[in-house]
Structure 1
Amino acid sequence: MDKNLLQRLISGFFYGLVIVLCTTPLGAEYIGKVFPDIKQYQLYYGMITFFMLVGIWECIRIMKFGKGWERFAVIPVSMYVFYLFSKRYFMQGFSYNFNLSEFLALFLIVIAAVTLFRFKDELYFESGKLIFTVIYVPLTFGFALGLPEFSAEGYFSLEVFMLFVLIWSSDSFAYFSGRLFGKHKMAPKISPKKTWEGFAGGVILTLILGFFIEKYYPELRGNWMVVGFLVSVFAPLGDLVESQLKRNFGVKDSGNIIPGHGGILDRLDSFIICAPVVYLYFILENII
């Protein structure tokens, strides 16, 4: 077996294992046998916080922060923003109304993506790098804290795990559909391998998977055919955003924390965009 392939398989296995341990009751049960005082919600919060911190460091590396005050301010500012989201969303459920702060946060994510593609020169300023990093990493991961539905005992349902399943599946479906039928490139300068045929195949097959999740896991929040559609549309966008970020600054990988796969931002580029979108859907579904 090719050494690089073996490395990818091993590191991919451990990455998937971390997701399972930190987002499912089964994982929490196994962790609890070794560390009985650790609760599932602590595992999930710790995982998201770790991903967020590594993501910030990778952004500093990708965007080549200088030695000005922005480089030293980005981590404390990001931690403060993440803390505000933790306080507001984590284990709070969906009993409150959707208000201006959520609209503003989601609008900022859209503005950051538009700036990345249309006004990239703004990101060469140190202040632009700081603002983009704070929006792209802690703001998006902050929304992810509000996705699970917690019980009084600290356990939560499988929304986050199923979101990862849909993202992984959507990516695989699009890849194989593109290999079989792909002719028309989506964004040849940013991601040459993506095709419209692959995108269409990813949408259709992810919708089908969403149907089965909805059928066999009716306790989950929302309609998972809708979630599947949202993931199939926004997961490729998340990949394009991260690819454009690396392209703007001439970087191949965001990092090497996952050998053979790159960095956290490389692995979670789709999750970063899908988490706020799915959170918005859950909120709207709850209100309506």
Structure 2
Amino acid sequence: MDKNLIQRTISGIVYVAVIILCTTPLGAQLINGISPDLVKQQYLYYGLITLLLTVGSWECFKIMKFGKSYEKWIVFPLVILIFYMFSKRYFHHDFYFDFRLTEILALLLILIAVITLFKYPSELYYDSGKLIFTVIYVALPFSFALGLPKYSTYEDTFSLEVLFLFILIWSSDTFAYLTGKFFGKHKMAPKISPKKTWEGYIGGVVLTLILSYFIEKYQHDLRGNWMVVGFLVAAFAPLGDLVESQLKRNFGVKDSGNIIPGHGGVLDRLDSFLICAPVVYLYFILEKFI
């Protein structure tokens, strides 16, 4: 068997296992089985998001090749400040009880950053543009990801929204790839991602909707309607891949990093999550008022 394939398989299994352990009560149960009351699930999830944010910020910093100006010295302080503000809301259960206009404005910033990347890439060649893009593209999505699950300290429960979000993203990518491989003829973005086709995109949407139907049918404790979530994920996950591909293309980089052997970096693996997490979070906060 090809050595690279073995490496990819092992690292892929470890990656999926870490996601499952940190986004479900299983992680805390396993650890507390060794030493009772050692950790709560919300801390494992917070640790996961903190790690992904840290590595992802460093990868984006390296991709964008900052110059010698002062902006590169304030990238990480700004990332930490934003994440700290969201972290306070996470531990005080403040994500679920009110609607904030600032959240909508922050989500709009992600849209503006994506438009800038595709339509006005020259703006990202200035260190000020690199600073703004890095903070918006990495810090905001991971910060909003803290607001996806709900947990109760008193009842010691942790909801599974993030796990099923990952499952839908993985299924969307897989379904789109397989449909495109067998039926794809019309390229979606040949200069950015030559293998993506409109047939694959449609197949990914349809088959992910079928999977989300069963999630909605059998997982009644999840927030929102998961047929809607499934559609949003299938619709926006390919955009996340295109954004990451365009970013690397603009700066002549093949992979964002090598922390996951055979798979690249955090941004390579979580490109769809960076777009889907804020979109799904927006749906969750709007769903309460519909």
Provide the secondary structure at the position in 1 that maps to 2:288.
Answer: helix
Deviations, residues 117-140 of structure 1 (Å, cap 9, x unaligned) = 000000000111000000001111
- Show structure 2 runs of 5+ residues with no match: none
Q: CA deviation at 1:93?
A: 4.2
Answering whether residue 112 of structure 2 is matched by residue 121 of structure 1, we say: no
Provide the secondary structure at the position in 1 that maps to 2:195.
Answer: strand
**Which residue does 1:226 correspond to in 2?**
228
Deviations, residues 76-134 of structure 1 (Å, cap 9, x unaligned) = 1110011112223453342212x220111011000000000000000000111000000
**Which residue does 1:30 correspond to in 2?**
30
**Which residue does 2:4 correspond to in 1?**
4
Deviations, residues 6-59 of structure 1 (Å, cap 9, x unaligned) = 000000011111101100012221122235321100000010011001011001
**Which residue does 2:244 correspond to in 1?**
242
Q: Which amino acid in structure 2 is aligned with residue 75 of structure 1?
A: F
- Equivalent residues of 2:244, 2:268 under 8 A apart: yes
**Which residue does 1:142 correspond to in 2?**
143
Distance 1:155 1:44 in 2: 13
**Which residue does 2:102 correspond to in 1?**
101
Distance 1:195 1:178 in 2: 6
- Show structure 1 runs of 5+ residues with no match: none
**Which residue does 1:173 correspond to in 2?**
175
Answering whether residue 44 of structure 2 is matched by residue 39 of structure 1, we say: no
Distance 2:87 2:196 in 1: 35
Distance 1:179 1:217 in 2: 31
Distance 1:283 1:209 in 2: 23
Provide the secondary structure at the position in 2 that maps to 1:194.
Answer: strand
Q: 21-30 vs 244-253, which deviates more?
A: 21-30
Q: 169-178 vs 60-69, which deviates more?
A: 60-69
Q: Which amino acid in structure 2 is aligned with residue 86 of structure 1?
A: S
After superposition, the CA RMSD in angstroms is 1.1
Q: CA deviation at 1:181?
A: 0.4
Deviations, residues 209-229 of structure 1 (Å, cap 9, x unaligned) = 000000110111111111000
- Equivalent residues of 2:24, 2:160 under 8 A apart: yes
- Equivalent residues of 2:123, 2:129 under 8 A apart: yes
Distance 2:77 2:34 in 1: 33
Distance 1:249 1:93 in 2: 36
**Which residue does 1:162 correspond to in 2?**
164
Distance 2:127 2:157 in 1: 41
Provide the secondary structure at the position in 2 that maps to 1:27.
Answer: helix
Deviations, residues 210-259 of structure 1 (Å, cap 9, x unaligned) = 00000110111111111000000110000000000000000000000000
**Which structure 1 residue ranges, 4+ long, deviate > 4 Å from structure 2?**
none
Distance 1:33 1:246 in 2: 43
Provide the secondary structure at the position in 2 that maps to 1:279.
Answer: helix
Provide the secondary structure at the position in 2 that maps to 1:260.
Answer: coil
- Equivalent residues of 1:184, 1:197 under 8 A apart: yes
- Equivalent residues of 1:214, 1:224 under 8 A apart: yes
For 2:196, which of 194, 197, 201 is the aligned residue? 194
Distance 1:262 1:94 in 2: 34
Distance 1:129 1:205 in 2: 37
Q: Which amino acid in structure 1 is aligned with residue 27 of structure 2?
A: G
Q: CA deviation at 1:149?
A: 1.1
Distance 1:41 1:178 in 2: 38
Provide the secondary structure at the position in 1 that maps to 2:196.
Answer: strand
Q: Which amino acid in structure 2 is aligned with residue 122 of structure 1?
A: E
Answering whether residue 75 of structure 2 is matched by residue 77 of structure 1, we say: no
Task: Give the TM-score normalised by the residue count of structure 2.
Answer: 0.97
Q: 43-52 vs 81-90, which deviates more?
A: 81-90
- Equivalent residues of 2:27, 2:44 under 8 A apart: no
- Equivalent residues of 2:60, 2:256 under 8 A apart: yes
Distance 1:56 1:93 in 2: 23
Give aligned-pair identity as a percent: 69
